[in-house]
Structure 1
Amino acid sequence: MTCNHTVLYDPDGVVEAELPLDRTPHELLVQAVLAWTDPCEALELRDCHLIALELTGHARAVADDVRRYAQQLPLQDGRRALAEVVLADAEKGLAAPVEATVRCAQDRARIVRALYERLDRLEQPVR
């Protein structure tokens, strides 16, 4: 049996940096997860777990973009300092184990939202 797959070695994430984020569906997922008010009416625990995993992976990808933009700014630029604070908070939140709970999914959704807010500010030109 032959394999038609090619293994990509990209330790610096060059290829990944060129790929656009799939933003819209993740923003809609964040909105839906943050709209849950009654944990009993939310999805089953295994669904919460899968959503938290999805948001975790996406948060890491957005954090990489935030980090890349921030590193291009001068050290004394306030936007860079704020990005570093948001990244530190995100890393702390993402370091917690993923749980099959509404709270975990909502925590991950908040991280994604904060990272996108910071990314948008980094992408805007300085006035």
Structure 2
Amino acid sequence: MNKEEIIRELRFKSVRSSGAGGQHVNKVATKVVLQFALEDSKALNEEEKILIKAKLRNRLNKDQQLVLHSDTTRSQSRNKALVTQQFLKLITEALKKKKIRKKTSRSRASIEKRLSDKRKAAEKKQSRQKPKL
């Protein structure tokens, strides 16, 4: 994955932020919407696209586009940097391969400890019972 190539493929759109605000919020477009067309990407190979599609299937729209937005700050450039950073983090996490778990067996000491504890518990319960006549 080449980050610079992927960043060149991103499309940004600025829109007005929602929510409460004063006169300033009604005339300035500080919210940044990022769009990434997964199918059209030349920076990712087919294997990476399949992996991303599988891991981010809930975040992709019907056109196989990943859409993120940021309206955290009042600065458009800062919001653009934040949404780009969020996008790169999302993509790198999606491309991480799951670590294969190696099956291990219990140690002899742990098996013996479990059996001795079991024996002690059985003896304790046996001693609580009324004596047989």
The TM-score range, normalised by the shorter chain, is 0.3 to 0.5
TM-score (norm 2): 0.32
- Structure with bigger helix share is 1
TM-score, normalised via structure 1 length: 0.32
Q: Greater relative contact order: 1 or 2 (C-alpha under 8 angstroms, separation 6 or more)?
A: 1
